[in-house]
Amino acid sequence: MLFTSYEFLFLFFPLVFFFYFVVVPKPLKLYFILAASCLFYGFWSFKFLPLLLGTIFTDFHLGRMIGQSTNEKKKKQLVVFSVVLNLTFLGFFKYFNFFLDNANSLLSLLGQSHLAGLGEIILPLGISFYTFQSMSYTIDVYRSKFKPYDDFFPFAAYVTFFPHLIAGPIVRHSEMVNQLSESTKKSFNVELASRGLVYFVIGLCKKILIADNIAASINPVINMMSIATTLESWACAIGYTFQLYFDFSGYTDMAIGLGLIFGVRFPQNFNSPYKSFSITDFWRRWHMTLSFWLRDYLYISLGGNRLGVTRTYLNLFLTMLLGGLWHGASWTYVLWGAFHGGLLVIEKRFNLDKKTSFVFFQSCLTFFLVVIGWVMFRAEHLDLLLVWFNKMFSLEGGWKLLHFSARTRDRFAIALVVGMALVWFCKNTTELDLKFKAFKPLAALLAIAFFIGILFLGSDSPFLYFQF
Amino acid sequence: MKYKSFIGTFFFTLILTVLGHVFFISLIDPQQTAPLSLSKSHENYHDNFLLKKVKLIERFPFETLILGSSTSEAFLVSEVNHHFKTQSFHASIGGGSTVARYTLFKKALKSNNSLKRVIYIADFFEMNKLSVPDLIAFNNELKMEIDTQDFMPHMGHYLKYLFSHQMLESAFLVMKRKRKNYHSPLLVDGSTGQSMILSTVETLASFNSKISSHNRIKLNEEILENYGTYSNNVLAGFEELNIHAKNLVESLVSESQKKSIEVIFILAPYHESFRKKLLSNPKLSKRYLEWITFFESLNSQSGVFVYNPTTSNIAIDPDSGVWRDGIHFNQFAATYFLKEIAENRRLNHE
């Protein structure tokens, strides 16, 4: 169920809101939100609900066992078990066929027979997100940063909480478990709900009016990149850059908005990433919750910057490489991760991650590199990537827009121009929230914007980060 | 208090906007489907082209009804009239589903006692998932021709349709037409001066012509684009020939037989390159054979003639010069088919 679907906007959310704030008594609110979140997940597939709940149950109890144990060796075994178990499930569902296909390609080259496959493996929705959230709990308990929770249900409600279940933000248990427990004891908070409404409507408009209009134009052209012109290849690259940002940040805004309506604050996930002056700065602003998670649980676990310069660079590179792989089972994601990892190492090595008086040029270069990275990210396979880059850099493909549909071309242009203006010259949603004043004209404007967003619903356009 | 009034203002404005939209759409009624029609839209200006064709059908006397989608655009009224010695009406609709064709057929049957013949240009895509066009489903006059509610949209669908940007844009279009005293390009025989097809490929005036190398490049690009649209969209999820679409075709045949109306089915072919790409998908290949088999099985019925050019010269020669893109052949190819059909019928009657 998408946040931008009719079922969510006019059925699921109003019902959950009504029951949560009007019907369900305070002692039962936590259980209700857990049940509603399970129903939300089950709308996609009830078959995978046991996996989600099983992951949470296992990690919760492993956390308790780690917390209760005084034997360091046993603690380590338990946390390793938690990590291995989570990564096994993630690895199996997400990467089994990828590794098998690559192994079979290698075997073919060596003249050996292929390994048997298991057919199509469905990727459980949100698995990349909820395993990270659940796993971070056991690691934190092992590191003695936090005591284990006594009550299973607040922890379960935290992992399954529907606003962030499917595509983040990756919220730490410390940021949310107590918040969720506290919010269930309180009444409806009008101020938070007002702010939540602002976030939600802005997110809806970002997704529906900007991201989807860009996607409608560029997707068909990307699918036939071999006949696209040079101008079209660049239009697709830049278009996707903005599509991805508005799609994902739009989703995040909606998630944050929903959280606020229920009295829970999620952390910021985007901080105007296309205003970055370096790739290092970019990763402090893009999908921040993932960046921080990778820093705290992967980079630091690998040794961080404590083991010398060369090892620091290697750890940085590996973290980004694995971060790329996390996004999906394709060599293009790995390449994207390696690309960013390499750039981060170069910046660190030559001190290029500091703002200088040439910040405008730094920002332009950073944006250019980010666009190149997104081409790798978007290309579903290496063949398409090579064709796309060839079109972009050979400059021989012509400078006309021949294959952009006449039906969607105007909307694409408007969405792109508006998107650029918003990204480079306006405050982001979090900055707007800081200056939020409950003016009636703003409320009226939001209502009209919401209505316009509803008019553009209808085509089934899932959020891009759902596929991860 | 200010936050309460903030939320209150939001919902108040939203309700006002929703009601304003409903009122505006009811006033303009751009597609003749409004829940309350507050004014009668001049039939010249409204945006329900299916209804426009029906109004012409009801007024214009003809013997032959041409049904199809954009592929049937090539079958000119003048050529049909010449080869069949008849007066025909072109009831083709771009992307026309079986429901749209059946609706137009039923209207013609009701209003035209001189109807003798139906030429039905069958498209492969028709037999995929069947959805009733909104222009029919929510117009009282048109939807009465569909007997079964099995595949009709419901209230939820209607609300999505009413609260869509297409509806609002359609209303602004109708207002613009009123201001500019618009004249419909539809002629009395159902044809128009405008092509539905956007291709710039230059085709040739002979059935056996060969395409030039310059146009070959353009045609290949068109075919690639057609393939993208068809494989990702039009023919996506084609698990079986849609039972309702088949039933409608069979109903058309049986109702024609009752009134001794001849039915000629022409199975629209594809360009060889396009067809090969499409049918490299085993599922689509199977469906394609089933589609041909279904229509050919109707040949045994009295008053039905099925013409199958899917393996004709133009459909197996990749250098054929009559193709505007992978799907649409030109009028010279269509005329050739008409000649063959007319000749075949003449021989049968002798």
Cβ-Cβ contacts under 8 Å, B165 against chain A = 452, 455-456
Cβ-Cβ contacts under 8 Å, A193 against chain B = 3, 7
Gap from A5 CA to chain B (nearest CA, Å): 11
C-alpha closest to that of A279 among A243, A249, A246, A323: A323
Q: Indicate yes or no: CB of A458 within 8 angstroms of CB of B160.
A: yes
Cα–Cα distances in Å, from A170 out to A37, A131, A132, B323?
16, 10, 8, 54
- Which chain A residues have any C-beta within 8 angstroms of a chain B C-beta? 6, 190-191, 193-194, 197, 220, 223-224, 226-227, 402-403, 406, 438-440, 442-444, 446-448, 450-452, 454-458
Cβ-Cβ contacts under 8 Å, A450 against chain B = 10, 14
Cβ-Cβ contacts under 8 Å, A261 against chain B = none
| pLDDT value at residue A466 | 64
Task: Give the Cα separation of A141 and A297 in Å (integer).
Answer: 13
Q: Output B347 or A425, whichever has higher pLDDT.
A: A425
Gap from A361 CA to chain B (nearest CA, Å): 39
Strand partners, A235: none
| pLDDT value at residue B204 | 81
Q: Indicate yes or no: CB of A403 within 8 angstroms of CB of B11.
A: no
**Among A191, A444, A456, beta carbon nearest to B3:** A191
Find all residues with CB under 8 Å of A432, minimum gap 6, and list them: A198, A202
Q: With a cut of 70, say whether residue B350 has pLDDT above it.
A: no
| Catalytic positions of A, written as ranges | 327
User: For A266, phi and psi rounded to 5 degrees?
Assistant: -90, 155
Residue-wise DSSP of A240-294: HHHHHHHHHHHHHHHHHHHHHHTT-PPPP--S-GGG-SSHHHHTTTSSHHHHHHH
> B122 in helix, strand or coil?
strand
Q: ipTM greater than 0.85, yes or no?
A: yes
Which residue matches tokens 């041409």?
B66
Cβ-Cβ contacts under 8 Å, A226 against chain B = 224
**Among A197, A438, A447, beta carbon nearest to B17:** A447
| pLDDT value at residue B18 | 96
Residue among A446, A460, A461 with most chain B CBs within 10 A, to mutate: A446
| Residue segments in chain A with a per-residue pLDDT below the cut of 70 | 458-468
| pLDDT value at residue B40 | 64
| pLDDT value at residue A122 | 81
Cβ-Cβ contacts under 8 Å, B13 against chain A = 443-444, 447-448
Find all residues with CB under 8 Å of B208, minimum gap 6, and list them: B313
Q: Indicate yes or no: CB of A443 within 8 angstroms of CB of B6.
A: yes
Q: Cβ of B17 under 8 Å from any chain A Cβ?
A: yes
Determine the angle formed by the axes of helices A212-223 and A230-261, rounding to 10 degrees: 140
Q: Is the dihedral of CA A268, A274, A278, A282 positive or negative?
A: positive
Q: Indicate yes or no: CB of A455 within 8 angstroms of CB of B164.
A: yes
pLDDT in tens, B15-41: 999 999 999 999 999 999 887 777 665
| pLDDT value at residue A109 | 84
Domains located in chain B, CATH noted: 48-129+182-349 (3.40.50.1110)
Q: Indicate yes or no: CB of B6 within 8 angstroms of CB of A439.
A: yes
Q: Output B199 or A352, whichever has higher pLDDT.
A: A352
Nearest residue in B to A5, CA atom: B160
Cα–Cα distances in Å, from A328 out to A102, B210, B325?
15, 47, 37
Q: Cβ of B11 under 8 Å from any chain A Cβ?
A: yes
C-alpha closest to that of B27 among B38, B42, B16, B43: B38
Cα–Cα distances in Å, from B70 out to A402, B80, B94, B195?
22, 16, 5, 9
Gap from B305 CA to chain A (nearest CA, Å): 38
Mean pLDDT of chain B: 90
The stretch B137-143 carries a mean pLDDT of 90
Q: Indicate yes or no: CB of B6 within 8 angstroms of CB of A458.
A: no
pLDDT in tens, A297-327: 999 989 888 889 999 999 999 999 999 999 9
| pLDDT value at residue A181 | 86
| pLDDT value at residue B314 | 87
| pLDDT value at residue A377 | 95
Peptide bond into A169 cis (omega under 30): yes
Whether the model clears a pTM of 0.80, i.e. scores above it, the answer is yes
Find all residues with CB under 8 Å of B346, minimum gap 6, and list them: none
